Amino acid sequence: MPQGYAPEGAQAALAFAFDQLDQPAIYAFTTLTNSPSQRVMAKLGMINIEQDFLHPKLAPDHPLAPHCLYRITKQQFTKQFIEQQSNKQQSQAGP
């Protein structure tokens, strides 16, 4: 199974957006047929907000026109980061 850089790069981009740019939330979208990208967004803690839409740059009948919209708030990202750090510390401490 491929071990891509997408999750790591996206994680860094989210950290920058929240920590340096002080954004309250980040949105991402992809075509409904792009399940790998949807998995990356879910892995990052982003939530599908169930507001699917047709991409305005594509013809409505184009197979890639339907898109889904994901979001993560700064609060959700921070909570997830704290939980990950706690889990990492517990696993390093051993039994």
Q: Where are the domains of the chain?
A: 27-89
pTM of the model: 0.84
Give the span between the Cα atoms of 82 and 87, in whole angstroms: 9
pLDDT greater than 80 at residue 89: no
Reported as a single tens digit per residue, the pLDDT across 21-79 is 999 999 999 999 999 999 999 999 999 999 999 999 999 999 999 999 999 999 999 99
Residue 82: strand, helix, or coil:
helix
Residue 84: other Cβ atoms inside 10 A: 12
Reported as a single tens digit per residue, the pLDDT across 8-24 is 899 999 999 999 999 99
